[in-house]
Amino acid sequence: MDITTAEQAAPRLTVIIASNREGRFAPVVADWFLARAREHQGLDIEVLDLAETELPTALSHQPSPAVQAQLAVISPKLADADAFVVITPEYNHSFPAALKNLIDWHFVQWQAKPVGFVSYGGISGGLRAVEQLRQVFAETHSVTVRDTVSFQHVHGLFDENGEHREPSQADAAVKKMLDQVAWWAHALRQAKAVRPYAG
């Protein structure tokens, strides 16, 4: 079977910044990650920052006009993506409510797509949030990649310019995770072109 031009195109990666907390550290981690992700060959990157969204926690099959307007901006970014990377802190051994809310407002947009994780926090580096997210994304028929990027005691790792003080291991972790995300994005996109996902 010939591979179409669409299947050869760079996978569309939507990077989700999960924290919307006032005074959040997320922009430092996100800017650092995005600089490296944009150097990774073969990914078309879009950003969805949950601090810029206002989806209500009360889900509805008949959302108000205001919510419909929000979804009209957010949902296409998820639907058009071939893959996702979630940048998340850890709050109380879990992940931010804004992220769960985003996930719950959508379903088919996640299906049969890979998800990678960049996490940060205290002693656990946000990995407890990631482990819970793996369970949630499994329910949406997503494929979470094994390798993550995580930052323990994150505030001490970056300088005043937002640069990682000892970047070699973190840079290698980003490449490994994005290689896996890109592989799954290509594989699943090609598979869905042959046979629609039975979700």
**Across the 199 residues of the chain, what is the mean pLDDT of every consecutive 10-residue run?**
63 97 97 96 94 94 95 97 98 97 97 98 96 98 98 95 94 97 97 92
Q: Give the DSSP H or E segment for 14.
A: strand 12-17
pLDDT of residue 115: 98
Q: What is the pLDDT of residue 4?
A: 57
Residue-level pLDDT at 6: 57
Quote the pLDDT of residue 1: 40
Determine the pLDDT at residue 136: 98
Distance set, CA 53 to CA 1, 18, 174 (Å): 42, 11, 26
- Which domains are delineated in the chain? 11-19+27-52+72-193 (3.40.50.360)
**pLDDT, position 35:** 96
What residue spans of the chain are helical by DSSP H? 5-8, 26-37, 65-80, 97-104, 127-139, 167-194
Q: Would you state the pLDDT for residue 108?
A: 97
Predicted local distance difference test score (pLDDT) of residue 7: 63
CB-based contacts of 160: which residues, under 8 Å, 6+ apart? none
CB 39 within 8 A of CB 33: no
> Is the pTM here over 0.85, yes or no?
yes
